[in-house]
Structure 1
Amino acid sequence: LRVCQEIETALGRVRTVKDGPRTLDIDILLYGDVKLNGPDLVIPHPRMRERDFVMRPLSEVMERPVRADFDERASSWDEDPRRVRTAREIADALFREIPLSGQETAVDLGCGTGLLTLALAPRVRRVMGVDSSTGMLKVLKDKVRAGGIGNVETRLLDLGKGGPLPTGFDLLVSSMTLHHVLDVPGLLRDIFVALRSQGRVALADLDTEDGSFHSDNTGVLHFGFDRNGLIRELEAAGFLDVRAVTATRIEK
């Protein structure tokens, strides 16, 4: 931090008003896996996720390694029993909160290896698993093929790029994906448009945390979410009867 400030001074920055306009600003946002909470320096930067001019270029820089990481980890993803249990408990909470007739069409955004997708499959007419990782989708496709499951399809889609969402679905679910998406309000608006009239959405993600949940915060664009804030964003997108429940607890 001292070196950064020396560079700012050498290039003519004058500090007048705290947090005011400045001609040059050099900050340390991330430093590998380091987590630091000192009197003069906090890593990850505590306010970077509030600043669109920081997060947009940062998300572009981080995009490729994140996708590669998920591709590499896909084959062993389901070997973590905690991950499997979390998906099962999220599915159980979903079924408690949203009664299903069996005639719904559903989409699982950020489906990964399909833990939630396949839990949905016996309870709906059709479900599409959507993910940005070809490795994750390959694992899901292999499961579908091995199980002879006829009502599951997949689609490769990068939510971070703002591509068009699948449309005409009755139910959209997403588990542990929102914290990888930069423009969450924009995604919620897109989801509202993509769903059929009277469609429903179920989103599971972390409550606000201090950045210590992930051992590596590469690709983590939000340290969880404030429940009331997310409810307000859903309502602003057009959703009605929005509520929050605790689906599962994860201890690390």
Structure 2
Amino acid sequence: MGNTDKFEMIANTYETPERIQIAKVSSNAIREYLVDTRDKNAIDFGCGTGLVGMNLLNNFNSILFLDTSQNMLNQIKQKILSSNIQNAATLCFDFEKDNLLDLHADYIFMAQVLLHINDVELVLSRLYEVLNENGHLLIVDFDKNEKIVSDMVHNGFDQIELIDSMTKIGYRDIQSKTFYTGSKIFMGHDASLFILDSQK
């Protein structure tokens, strides 16, 4: 995944008040789409230090925290140990480089991850393979923002275009909406976040 080196360096200082707040609104938005998930297994994809997934541990039977940055995952391991969390595990893996054929989940959620991924359709296709039948992929990310110009990340996403790409992959029953607008939350610019729910 893009920008792994950067995330390796900032893992110890990643959890700022702003990021904690965005994670809270993101996990609340995801929670609205969860129905009867207590016996389901989930993957927090591109989990960072687990700010979103940690908020959702009680909603699932188990969560696998997956990221390309081992230093980020080490932060989660400390949380798991210090809080004696029984239903969480970590995995360092890069879906842009390899496919993980033996990994399966009922739910995959990713919060502000897609913007770091170079080949969006490749990764969404590989996540589709990981989902169990009728499983859900939930995406939280920024709406397209023309003011953002960066070599590091996408400048957000057009919801209609993203839905179109995902439909071609095979995702169905896709719904999305903008749910949050914040000041200077995307590379110093005001921006809005959307949530997208899709099913295999």
TM-score range, shorter chain: 0.7 to 0.9
Matches within 5 A, 1:193-232: 193-210=129-146, 212=148, 217=150, 219-220=152-153, 222-232=154-164
CA drift of 1:97 comes to 2.1
Return the alpha-carbon distance in structure 1 between the equivalents of residues 67 and 37 of structure 2.
26
1:176 to 106, 112, 135: 112
Output the amino acid matched with 1:196.
N
Alpha-carbon distance in 2 for matches of 1:211, 1:182: 19
Which of residues 76, 90, 110 in structure 2 aligns to 1:140? 76
Aligned counterpart, 1:36: none
Check 1:119–1:166 CA distance in 2 against 1; reply closer, same or farther (3 A cut): farther
More strand by share: 2
**Structure 2 counterpart of 1:69:** 6
Aligned: 1:242 with 2:185: no
TM-score (norm 1): 0.68
CA distance in 2, matches of 1:136, 1:100: 30
Matches of 1:243 and 1:86, distance apart in 2? 21
Q: Which of these residues, 212, 233, 238, is aligned with residue 165 of structure 2?
A: 233
The amino acid across from 2:172 in the alignment is: L
Q: State the distance in 2 between where 1:218 and 1:129 align.
A: 27
Offset, 1:219: 2.9
Distance (whole Å) between structure 1 residues aligned to residue 64 and residue 175 of structure 2: 25
Taking the aligned partners of 1:247 and 1:127, their CA distance within structure 2 comes to: 24
Query: Alignment RMSD, CA only?
Result: 1.8
Measured against aligned partners, the alpha-carbon deviations of 1:16-65 in whole angstroms (never above 9, x if no partner) come to: xxxxxxxxxxxxxxxxxxxxxxxxxxxxxxxxxxxxxxxxxxx9xxx5xx
Q: Which protein is richer in helix relative to its size?
A: 1
For the residues of structure 1 that align with 2:28 and 2:177, how far apart are their CA atoms?
Answer: 12
Runs of at least 4 residues of structure 1 off by over 4 A? Answer: none
Gaps of 5+ in 2: 185-200
Larger Rg: 1
Q: CA deviation at 1:121?
A: 1.0
CA distance in 2, matches of 1:72, 1:251: 26
Report sequence identity in percent: 26
Report the AA paired with residue 224 of structure 1: G
Amino acid corresponding to residue 152 of structure 2 in structure 1: G
